[in-house]
Amino acid sequence: MPVTPHPAPVPHTDHGNRRGELVRVAARLFREKGFDATTVRDIAHAAGMRSGSPFYHFANKHELLAAVMEEGLRQGLERTEGVLAEAALPARERLARLVRTQYAILHETGSDFIPVMLYDWRSLPDAHKRRIVGLKDRYDALWQRTVDELHHEGTLGVDPKLARLMILGAINFTATWYRPDSRAVGAVGLDELAAQTTRLFLRSL
């Protein structure tokens, strides 16, 4: 009696690639349509998979949402740490680079992860939020070091924690209105937007 061969196991790298693709596609659709309006079927179709395939990687849509937010913070941490790891820079220059990096995280091609966190945070169950908050605290701490230094230099005349919240809050809110070709802002590119943001806060604070 012939023995039916077992199907070859899916390589680990393929599993990781498929999971990563689901996270990227979900981020784009969540940003475009919103979490509630996006179905798992939508995500599977956009990723070129069968409708049930996402459940091989994620238990439900909320778990996928958490993965999108985690990926955004992971990328943000990596890029922000890269700025701070450069040769010693004056605090003003470091802030300018952090501001430009944050705009890139929000607006460059494929950067849908952090905007999803800003839009759909309330859609995430508390059990998942605890995982995200730990990453977010690390992210905020990187910024806080530079803001604290500016405060110690006398550049900032307000509470440094409040300053960080205001700066990041203003930058992150551009996810709701900024477009590089917008007539409202005169087709300002990200470099110019970052430069003007830095000048605004250093002069105002």
Instruction: Burial-class residue 205 by CB neighbours within 10 Å (0-12, 13-18, 19+).
Output: middle
| Alpha carbon distance 167, 47 (integer Å) | 36
| Alpha carbon distance 142, 164 (integer Å) | 10
Does some domain include residue 173?
A: yes
* Domain enclosing residue 107, as ranges: 61-204
Does some domain include residue 120?
A: yes
Indicate whether 5 pLDDT > 50.
no
Determine contact, residues 72/26, Cβ cutoff 8 Å.
no
Cα-to-chain-centroid distance, residue 60: 21
Coil, strand or helix: which one is 132?
Answer: helix
Q: In the chain, how many domains are there? A: 1
Specify the pTM: 0.82
Indicate whether 157 pLDDT > 80.
no
Across the chain, what does the average pLDDT equal? 86
Instruction: Name the packing angle between helices 126-153 and 160-173 (round to 10°).
Output: 120
Does some domain include residue 5?
A: no
The H or E element that residue 54 is part of is helix 54-57
| Alpha carbon distance 126, 17 (integer Å) | 28
As a whole number of Å, the end-to-end CA separation of the chain is 82
| Alpha carbon distance 79, 133 (integer Å) | 18
CATH number where 66 lies:
1.10.357.10
What pLDDT, in 10s, does the model give residues 160-186? 999 999 999 999 999 988 887 766 666
Does some domain include residue 2?
A: no
Does some domain include residue 104?
A: yes
